[in-house]
Structure 1
Amino acid sequence: MDPESHLALHHTRAAELRAQAAAHRLAHAARPPREFRTRLGWTLVELGLRLAATAPRPAVV
């Protein structure tokens, strides 16, 4: 491959990667904070632990 062609392809690919990185940064900045999801997750973990820690019921014979 001609060095000039290779260099042109390299510059094109580098520009595409920079555009993808910029789009990713913008999408990440627009995402809402995870505070609600975090609180909900820990609440579900606490509920699961409480359910798992209940005393076993006596067997009905």
Structure 2
Amino acid sequence: MDAQTHLALHHARTAELRAEADAHRLAVAARVPGELRTRLGWTLVEMGLRLASAPRPAVAS
């Protein structure tokens, strides 16, 4: 591949990645910090505790 073509592709990809990073930063700044993540985390903890403490059925021989 020609060096100039390779460099042009590299610059294009760099611009795409920077735009993606900027969009991600804006999305993170716009949301309520951690609210959904916290609720989901505690829901998963609660489900795990219920599964761990559920009585096991007796095995009939």
What's the TM-score once normalised by structure 1's chain length?
A: 0.57
Gaps in structure 2 of 5+ consecutive residues: 54-61
Larger radius of gyration: 1
Aligned residues: 47
Structure 2 partner of 1:34: 34
Point out 4+ residue stretches in structure 1 off by more than 2 angstroms. Answer: 33-39
Structure 2 partner of 1:59: none
- Residue 2 of structure 1 aligns to which amino acid in structure 2? D
What's the TM-score once normalised by structure 2's chain length?
A: 0.57
Structure 2 partner of 1:9: 9
Aligned partners of 2:27 and 2:7: how far apart in 1? 30
Structure 1 partner of 2:24: 24
Gaps in structure 1 of 5+ consecutive residues: 53-61
Aligned partners of 1:37 and 1:25: how far apart in 2? 17
Q: Percent identity?
A: 64
